[in-house]
Amino acid sequence: MTRPRANVEGGRDRTGRLAKQRVAADEAALTGDKRRPIGIGGAAKAFWRHPSPWLIGALLVCAATTRGLVGDWRLSDLLTPLVMLAVFPFFEWAVHVCVLHWRPRRVGRVTIDPLLSRKHRAHHVDPRDVPLVFIPWQVHLWLVPLVVAVGLLAFPRTGLGLTFMTVVGLLGLGYEWTHYLIHSDYRPRSRAYRAIWRNHRLHHYKNEHYWFTVTSSGTADRVLGTHPDPAGVRTSPTVRDLHAREANA
C-alpha cells in the first residue's frame, strides 16, 4: 500500500490533514488527552515562575543598558546581530544533536554524561514536565560568565562585545519562551507558530532522530537533512527513552 505524502506545515489539502492527524494520534498514544488550552497571558505568568528566564533576562537588561551607556555605534553593531540570527538555527541544531542527545560514554572509570544531556533525556521521558523544559539554573552559573567573557575578550571593541551579549540575551530568552510555549497548554493560532509547534512536537512524539530546531520551522533541519516527510517516518520506540536500544544492545 502506498503511503500518502503529507506536509508537516499542514495546509488545506487532504494530505496535510492526514499528517496533522498522525502527529496528534502519536501524541495521544503517549500522553493521553491531558491538554487544557490556556491563553497567552496565563502561559506568560507561568513562564516567569522559573529561574532560567530571570537569569537570561538579567544578562539581557545589564548588557543592553551598558551598551546604551557606552555608545560608539558602528555598522558592525548592525551586521553582528544579522549574522547571529542567521547562524542561530544551526547553533541550535548542533547543540541539540551533539550535547542534548549525547550518549553517555565511559573513559576509563569515568562516565562522561553532562547535566544538560541527563536533563534532556528526562525531558523526553515526560515532555509535559515543565521544569525540564528550561535550561537548568546550574548551567547558567557557567554559561552566563562564559558569554560575558566572550563579549569582553573576543571582540575588538567593548561596544561590539556588548552588542553580542545583548543579542545572546534576546536569542536565549526567545529560545526559552518558544520551547516553553510549545510544551505548555497554549494552542497555536498563527500559521507561523503552528509550523514551529508541529516541527518540535514531531521530534518528541514521532521520532527523536529528526526535527532538531526549536525556534524556527525546520530551517537548519532542511539544510542538514533532518526534516523528512513525517508520513514516511515510523514512530520511534525510543522517542521517550533516548539511547535505550544502544544501552540494551
Residue 209 has pLDDT above 90, yes or no: yes
What ranges do the domains of the chain cover?
Answer: 39-191
Q: Which of 154, 142, 140 has its CA nearest to residue 58?
A: 140
pLDDT of residue 12: 46
Residue 37 has pLDDT above 90, yes or no: no
pLDDT of residue 51: 97
Q: What percent of the chain has pLDDT over 70?
A: 84
Task: Give the pLDDT band (50/70/90) at residue 225.
Answer: very high
Pairwise CA distance, residues 101 & 96, whole Å: 6
Q: Mean pLDDT over residues 219-245, rounded?
A: 92
Task: Give the pLDDT band (50/70/90) at residue 3.
Answer: very low
Q: In this structure, which long-range contacts are made by residues 237-240, counting pairs with CB atoms below 8 Å and at least 24 apart in sequence?
A: 238/208, 239/30, 239/124, 239/204, 239/205, 239/206, 239/207, 239/208, 240/30, 240/124, 240/125, 240/126
pLDDT of residue 243: 82
Task: Give the pLDDT band (50/70/90) at residue 92.
Answer: very high
Residue 6 has pLDDT above 80, yes or no: no
User: What per-residue string of b and e applies to 30-54 under the rule 16 or more CB within 10 Å gives b?
Assistant: eeeeeeeeeeeeeeeeebeebebbe
Query: Helix 40-47 crosses helix 158-183 at what angle (to 10 degrees)?
Result: 120
pLDDT of residue 244: 73
The average confidence (pLDDT) of the chain is: 88
Q: Mean pLDDT over residues 137-153, rounded?
A: 97
Q: Mean pLDDT over residues 46-75, rounded?
A: 97
Pairwise CA distance, residues 214 & 203, whole Å: 10
Residue 25 has pLDDT above 80, yes or no: no
Residue 124 has pLDDT above 70, yes or no: yes
Q: What percent of the chain has pLDDT over 90?
A: 79
Helix (H) or strand (E) run with residue 111 in it:
strand 110-112
Residue 54 has pLDDT above 90, yes or no: yes
Pairwise CA distance, residues 23 & 44, whole Å: 26
Task: Give the pLDDT band (50/70/90) at residue 13.
Answer: low
pLDDT of residue 249: 40
- What 3-state class would DSSP assign to 169? helix
Q: Mean pLDDT over residues 18-34, rounded?
A: 55
Query: Helix 76-95 crosses helix 158-183 at what angle (to 10 degrees)?
Result: 40
Pairwise CA distance, residues 174 & 138, whole Å: 20
